[in-house]
Amino acid sequence: MTWKRTALVASLASAALTFGACGFGGSDGDTSVAPAPKDPNAAASGTLRIFAYGDTVPDEMLDPFREANPDVDLKIATFDSNKSAAAKLAGGFESDVVEVCTDEMEPLLVRGLLRPLDPEGVKDFDKLAFHDSPDIRNEGGQVLFAPASAGPHGLIVNTDEVTESVDSYQALFDPRYADNVALEATPLTAIAVTALAQGLDDPMNLTPEQVDETEQYLLDNRDQFRAFAESDSSMVNLFKSGEVVLADGGRGTTQAMIDDGVPVEWVAPKEGALSWVCGLAITSKAQNIPAAYKLINYYASPEAQAISAKLGFVAMNPDALPLVPAKYQQTADPKNLAEAIPETQPDDSEAYDRAWQEVLAE
Amino acid sequence: MPGARPVAPEGPRRDVPLSYRVRLRMPAVASVCLTAFVLLVLFGPVLMLALFSFNDSSIISLPWEGFTTHWYEEASSDNQAHDAVLNSLLVASIVTVGSLLLGTLAAWGLTRLRFPGRGFVAGLHGSVLVVPWLIIGVAGLIFFSELGVTLSLQTIGLMHLVVTFPLVVAIISAGLVRFSRSLEEAAIDLGASQLQLMRYVVLPHIAPSLAAAGIFAFAWSFNNFEISFFLGGFEQTFPVWVFSILRQSENLPLVNAVSTVIALAQVVAVVGAWRLMKRLTRNRGGDSALTELVTGGVR
């Protein structure tokens, strides 16, 4: 993912959202709870329109669903961020199912683009990781999406070069590794891991003073960082070339390095790993609710979660683990998410963005 | 005389001092080095990506892990990649023809006719070129949404036409302005109809401009992301597909492989066009006519 390009598109998409809110293409959809099908085993039919991240809807994930539901005609469109998705939906684009993530769903929520789910309509809902998290619910406690994928975000450590045991985000600021450390160039994770390194407890809801404090800490330690990786590819290249021996990052990125022979391991810091959480929601203009529930049930099933695990994600349904090949067991284990701090959109996300821009400008 | 080009003294070559020979060759050597450097900067990254499309690793980085065609095999079996490339080719082809037709007509009107508001119309055409494509994409999305039009390749094509048409107008207008009107008048005096005038006099002379405008229009449409993302429905174009799958680093070699094939096709097309033009100008002045034909289109 090219985060710099995504950040630019997302920023301009935010402007587009503002324009779109000026009475044009605004939501006049239904924001009541989407009724679950009376008979969950009844066959679904018709056209089902999905709007999701590209890596959520590969053919290997959807082919079993197509085989099981031959009367459902899948139409797929992809996006690179929930902000650009919200801009497109607010502008009038319609889909039945949209993928949302806890750290990016605010633009969809405030524009009434989502329709709450009935958890009774999702068979394995209570088994899914984060099913009881308030972050997947609206202010009224209604479930907005069924968690379908997640990825813990911790530390990536080159075990050949970093011989001491590392278990804290504070290692990123250890002078012994100066100029050999990288951070992911996303405002939320960069500010959050720095806040955790400083001992702040709630990295997703920092006060303005805490954001300023974190920004200053990053500026004071700017020389610690060799690079701010703008994509998974960049991070992998930094480790492979030996420029970086320590960074924050996810298990999937770590696995890509291990597969290529780079001696690294992923560590869950004692302050708590962060975790992005994404899932499938029904849009307020959905036209095929029964097929939407069929798809959401499929993604929550052990079979689909096992496929998701092979794609590098955590299996949200623990019943999927026996179906996951040994190579992916460690990455897929939902225990990775135990004690994880879900990445959510801060109330003052602009403060995080501003602080990060100041650091980048240095 | 200071600054004058050194002239080798007369006499057998072995009598010419080395310093003279070096100074004589320096301009040629410098121009070759400069050209090589520019080509390296322009095409080096593309060649590197093409090279790494054969590397047996999902990471685009040295060391070389071994030669493989695995990524090309994966690309050949990826239906989403096929569909995306075909969609982009289809849209770009139609947009090119449409913008050439409409752009030529508009350029003819702007350069040959006098009517009230001509300057305003010309300015309106050019104004689209300075509006960011992202804004055009969002505006188009809202426009079609308000009209209740379902987003599709057609809506993408229509908005691509909006952004490529002004470019074609600008290029063709430049060609028509350079074209001597006395030739048109002479053709009419000799009895040519308007259709014959266009077919035998005007179009051959602005052919280089048409070719240049066509290439730009095709490239702008094929490579466009912002408009294609916002105006696209459930059919992806190539840039949108690339952007969506690059979220995962292991897809980068696949994108490299597809992009290398597309780049190779473009090189083959350009070489083919060059050979065709060379054959066509063989009896009309050879290389000088070919140079005039090519440079006339990009002047």
> At A46, which helix (H) or strand (E)?
strand A46-53
Tell me, yes or no, whether B156 lies in a domain: yes
Tell me, yes or no, whether B33 lies in a domain: no
The residues that bridge with A66 in the sheet, in sequence order, are none
pLDDT at B293: 55
Residue among A3, A61, A75, A78 with most chain B CBs within 10 A, to mutate: A78
pLDDT at A182: 97
CA distance B41 to B44: 6
Domain containing residue B267: 74-298
> At A181, which helix (H) or strand (E)?
strand A181-184
Whether B134 and chain A come into contact, CB under 8 Å, resolves to yes
- How many residues does this entry show for chain A? 362
Q: Under an 8 A CB cutoff, do A91 and B142 touch?
A: yes
Whether B127 and chain A come into contact, CB under 8 Å, resolves to no
Tell me: ipTM over 0.85: no
Whether A242 and chain B come into contact, CB under 8 Å, resolves to no
Whether A80 and chain B come into contact, CB under 8 Å, resolves to yes
The residues that bridge with A143 in the sheet, in sequence order, are A117, A137
Smallest CA–CA separation between A247 and chain B, in Å? Answer: 17
Whether A79 and chain B come into contact, CB under 8 Å, resolves to yes
For residue range B156-202, list pLDDT tens digits in order: 999 999 999 999 999 999 989 888 888 888 999 999 998 898 888 88
Smallest CA–CA separation between A199 and chain B, in Å? Answer: 31
When the pLDDT of each residue in chain B is averaged and rounded to a whole number, the result is 86
Tell me, yes or no, whether B13 lies in a domain: no
| A314-to-A59, A145, A321, B174, B191 alpha-carbon distances in Å | 19, 17, 10, 59, 79
CA distance B149 to B140: 11
- Total tally of structural domains belonging to chain B: 1
For residue range A239-290, list pLDDT tens digits in order: 988 999 999 999 888 988 888 889 999 999 999 999 999 999 999 999 999 9
Tell me the count of A-B CB pairs closer than 8 A: 108
Tell me, yes or no, whether B128 lies in a domain: yes
pLDDT at A26: 47
Q: Which two structure tokens, joined as six digits, stand for A200?
A: 């702040």
One DSSP character per residue, B123-145 reads HHHHHGGGS-HHHHHHHHHHHHH
For residue range B4-14, list pLDDT tens digits in order: 555 655 555 56
Whether B49 and chain A come into contact, CB under 8 Å, resolves to no
pLDDT at A3: 57
pLDDT at B291 over 70: no
Query: Which positions in chain A touch B60 (Cβ < 8 Å)?
Result: 233, 237
Domains and CATH numbers, chain A: 3-150+275-332 (3.40.190.10), 151-274+348-361 (3.40.190.10)
Tell me, yes or no, whether B52 lies in a domain: no
Q: Which of B144, B234, B247 sits opposite A76 (nearest CB)?
A: B234
More confident residue, B290 or A260: A260
Tell me, yes or no, whether B285 lies in a domain: yes
Query: Which positions in chain B touch A2 (Cβ < 8 Å)?
Result: 243, 246
CA distance A276 to A16: 25
pLDDT at A337: 82
Exposed, middle or buried by CB within 10 Å (0-12, 13-18, 19+), for B271? exposed
Tell me, yes or no, whether B80 lies in a domain: yes
Tell me, yes or no, whether B255 lies in a domain: yes
Provide the CATH number for the domain around residue B157.
1.10.3720.10
Burial B31-55 (b: 16+ CB within 10 A, else e): eeeeeeeeeeeeeeeeeebbebbbb
pLDDT at B178: 83
List per-residue pLDDT tens for chain A, 362 residues long.
Answer: 455 565 555 555 655 555 444 444 445 789 999 999 998 888 999 999 999 998 899 889 999 999 999 999 999 999 888 888 988 998 889 999 999 999 888 889 889 999 999 999 999 999 999 899 888 998 899 999 999 999 899 999 999 999 899 999 999 999 999 999 999 999 999 999 999 999 998 999 999 999 999 999 999 999 999 999 988 888 988 998 899 999 999 988 898 888 888 999 999 999 999 999 999 999 999 999 999 999 999 999 999 999 999 888 899 999 999 999 988 888 888 887 878 898 998 988 899 999 999 999 98
Query: Which positions in chain A touch B144 (Cβ < 8 Å)?
Result: 92
**Average pLDDT of span B55-67:** 80
CA distance A349 to A203: 12
What contacts A139, CB < 8 A, 6 or more positions away? none
Contacts with A, B 249-268, CB within 8 Å = 249-250, 252
